[in-house]
Chain A
């Protein structure tokens, strides 16, 4: 009976913890307002079939729909309404619609006629815009490419903040688009990640409650990719989105790499990834219209993250990372903050800026190595070094044969530590190689070829 007692106690504690992590008020608000928005949208859509847009019958429901949109956007930021398999989701929250009113099924059916599965509202709409939108939606679907036609009509109606999406289907765990991830998959994931991170940042900056769940799902994907041994170095997303969102994504990926090398369990890797994604949240804040300076960004970041309600260990760690991710070793920052510190500084020193990167990734690593034990946890830094090698991805190398190559792989083991897989960027005769051209061949230095020098970027030295 003792193991049953222990089980009972452990489940009881898990339930208590779950209750502590709940933000009942927020969830209820989203569900209530979401259900109201869907009901109003469906009702207005029907009404538009029988009335002209300027009919007085639209007055009240249009005003209510406008108000509901305002409140939802205040709460959640850009609104993603998705109808899929008889269910309606608003920003990933499933909305309970009374089936007797036919809300979910009706809306899905109406949208499906246009080959559409959902709408996005980037900003609230006024009365006139709502009527215009409904007029477009209630129009007869085009026989050829109805979705494209609908998008065109929405654009023509100058509804620039409304986006219409194609049909959706539910994605089941373990599902792959093909036998192996293709370049397109990687790019799509990178785009999805960038969009998601950018949106999370926008929401923080707009003073909304942080919603880590979508970011967490993305991070879980990244963790799974690492577990499968896939390449997740963030070069694909390097130039996408805002600078700060791109930085967050790269720091997140690097942090997960270090954590995985260390052997952290997947759940902790996920906490680490989400913490890394939000480590610089402070730069999303505004002080008199400007982003806070470096000295105050930790406090400002914590301030933004503190808007999320409900106790969760991951949130505590996330806040600690926001506070401690620049702390030297003498202040004994927590493990996750020490990891993010390394990833953060590596990216800061080596990322592309408008004036060029400060250092090549290889030199950034050597300089950081000089501060191991004082600024950085020496063991954790060594894990990064082991993983990305002497010439980390993105390092430009001049080879003995005169070609210039860029490193594209991390370390593939001790033997290839200083012999990465590279791609030619300048031929031996000095001709630049365009991406995708036949000359852009891969060179595996593990099979031969020597490095003469690391080419440093032309960017100004760090201030």
Chain B
């Protein structure tokens, strides 16, 4: 799950008034505010956001607290208010935000939560409210239908289920009126009724065998099996069946159904199966579509549809459905990319730009890795153009698949100065074979604007111990301003100098600690820190005596550093002896 985004639930907002004069009223106000914020949060945040989880937790606590202390919560719904036990417990006159207004507008007039309402029912109620909060108006369900379908056992909803003639003022139903006058208002508009032929739905089935009927009880296990056939998890298979029917009908010249007419439904099924992560079904659909025999006028539509299964939107849906714990790339996903034409690398890069969580990123990266061998340059181009996060992922894919290509990418991306990318690049250079080229690249990262990158680059240079690095390091050190170099970095500089060219380093350190000449000027304190740090790793008595000199001449800080270095040096020496 993605945990980015505002982690702290919003405080009470303008328009939302804290209400409740009694303990019961205040507790009811807590429940209603928690319900409102939780429902509204789906409008503001991605469903996987941490903030939503906190709103849910607040709702649960508020409902538990109310039900424990006060029992049933019965809310009368007015246009802008919710009233519990005659006390107004919610008031918000902002139509866009008001829970009361939305409930009232959607026909809800009373809502009662029984004291033993289970959390799952509260969640179901929240689900229905959230759907209306995000402003979705489905063609199939309205709020009343959704509430009906929820089948609440512990929540009672009184809702408007449409309108009925007001019998108290029924002008047409006057018993004294004459026949002509009492002509009732038509229940049907009087539009032309469909007039199917008298023999519609014929021929009737040919049934020749007559078998007497009798009552027979059927076992529950049989019923359960049949009921299970309609379970939601069979929906992908039902979609596949529907695709089969539609395609067969399109191919049958006697059926008046064209590909254009089924196209919207195919798109909807595509979106559903992709969002639901139903890869085997997706592949089946693609296979059937690919082999569909169509007139040339429709092949472009078909090909566009096929491509859309693996476009950024389609793949985005698929990747979004990847389970959190998934460690490997589903083979069907690879097959999907093989079956559908298109510039998948570019698409994968676009999908990477969306936020899909760690599992999704991992799957995307492994998919990109498949393109490195054949389209390495293209991957590098994508990396150069991508956002920092995606560039890191692409560089990582290159590193796992082709280290030389990755090093080349690092070289080409020398202008990218985001910390994450630099760290990714350093990981590449760490894994790459030692060469003058990689050493030079590491030298460039010593000049990075990020201390973390500089330190790591220096550490890597120390490990590599290449003399070629020395001149650049020295030049960099000479350009340093004392105030900008933290001690840790100075230590790293010293160690890198000592490792890359020990003899040359000794000369330099000597010059910085014990300058020659009558009018010699002591090196800057930071240079002395670097020198002492480097001397730890240089052999010979001179190194030790230079540290002592630095300690005697330097201030308190340098003295403390020299003591540390001396201890370290002896430990290093003991380690070397052992």
Contacts and interface: CB of A to CB of B under 8 A. Distances in A.
Interface in A25-77: 26-27, 77
Given A199-B188, A308-B139, A166 B169 contact: yes
Given A166-B165, A306-B264, A334-B241, A283 B196 contact: yes
A57 B109 CA distance: 43
A201 B255 CA distance: 20
Contacts of A241: 188, 193
Contact of A78 (B48, B189, B226): B189
Contacts of A156: none
Interface string B270-309: 0110010000000000000000000000000000000000
A192 interface: yes
A390 B196 contact: no
B230 A264 contact: yes
Q: For the complex, would chain A's binding face be called helix, strand, loop or mixed by DSSP majority?
A: helix
A273 B276 CA distance: 26
Interface residues of B, number: 111
A194 to B, nearest CB: 8
A353 B198 contact: yes
Contacts of B242: 316, 319-320, 323
A126 to B, nearest CB: 17
Interface stretch (A14-22, A397-405, A426-434, A435-443): A14-22
A296 B255 contact: yes
B325 interface: no
Interface string B208-248: 11111111111000110011011010010011011001100
A122 B190 contact: yes
B440 interface: no
Contacts of A266: 148-149, 151
B202 A89 contact: no
B191 interface: yes
A270 B146 CA distance: 12
B88 to A, nearest CB: 20
B158 interface: yes
Contacts of B109: 172
Contacts of A92: 162
B123 A166 contact: no
Contacts of B239: 316
A371 B205 CA distance: 10
Nearest to A326: B205
A92 B194 CA distance: 22
B330 interface: no
Given A243-B200, A284-B196, A390 B138 contact: no
Given A8-B52, A266-B151, A349-B204, A383 B254 contact: no
B215 A411 contact: yes
Interface residues of A, number: 150
Contacts of B164: 168-169, 171
Given A92-B162, A171-B161, A302-B245, A115 B235 contact: no
A312 B138 CA distance: 9
A173 B161 contact: yes
A379 interface: yes
A386 interface: yes
Contact of B198 (A191, A243, A365): A243
Interface string A81-106: 01010010100101000000000000
A310 B267 CA distance: 10
Nearest to A247: B201
Contacts of A294: 200-203
Contacts of B519: none
Nearest to B255: A299
A166 B255 contact: no
A254 interface: no
A336 B226 CA distance: 10
Given A148-B171, A309-B139, A375 B189 contact: no
Contacts of B157: 173
A146 B145 CA distance: 36
B105 interface: yes
A191 B187 contact: yes
Contacts of A317: 230, 238
A463 B204 contact: yes
Interface stretch (B66-74, B125-133, B495-503, B550-558): B125-133
Contacts of B335: none
A166 B170 contact: yes
Contacts of B208: 367, 370
B256 A292 contact: yes
A304 to B, nearest CB: 10
B77 to A, nearest CB: 11
Given A170-B160, A171-B162, A213-B145, A311 B272 contact: yes
B4 interface: no
A220 B207 contact: no
Interface in B21-72: 42, 47-48, 52-53, 56-57, 60
A306 B245 CA distance: 13
Contacts of B210: 363, 366-367, 369-370
A135 to B, nearest CB: 21
Contacts of B252: 299
A11 B42 contact: yes
A152 B130 CA distance: 47
Which of A167, A173, A287 gathers the greatest number of chain B CB atoms within 10 Å? A173
Interface stretch (A157-165, A228-236, A445-453): A157-165
Contacts of A172: 109, 158-161
B488 interface: no
Given A8-B52, A334-B241, A244 B144 contact: no
A386 B215 contact: yes
B199 A463 contact: yes
A290 B194 CA distance: 11
Contact of A366 (B201, B213, B230, B257): B213
7 contacts: A1-B53, A7-B123, A8-B47, A220-B145, A296-B255, A386-B216, A463-B204
Interface of A: 1, 3-5, 7-12, 14-16, 18-24, 26-27, 77-78, 80, 82, 84, 87, 89, 92, 94, 115, 117, 120, 122-123, 145-148, 151-152, 160-161, 163-174, 191-192, 194-195, 198-199, 201-202, 204-206, 211-213, 216-217, 220, 241-245, 247, 262-268, 270, 280, 283-285, 287, 290-292, 294-297, 299-300, 302-303, 306, 308-317, 319-320, 323-324, 334-336, 344-345, 348-349, 353-354, 358, 363, 365-372, 375, 379-380, 382-383, 385-386, 390, 411, 414, 417, 462-463
Given A220-B145, A294-B203, A312-B140, 16 more contacts: A8-B1, A8-B56, A11-B130, A15-B127, A20-B272, A26-B139, A151-B172, A161-B190, A216-B140, A295-B254, A310-B139, A310-B140, A324-B245, A334-B241, A348-B204, A463-B204
Interface of B: 1, 42, 47-48, 52-53, 56-57, 60, 105, 107, 109, 119, 123, 126-127, 130-131, 134, 136-142, 144-145, 148-149, 151, 157-166, 169-172, 174, 177, 181, 183, 185-205, 207-218, 222-223, 226-227, 229-230, 232, 235, 238-239, 241-242, 245-246, 249, 252, 254-257, 261-262, 264-265, 268-269, 271-272, 275
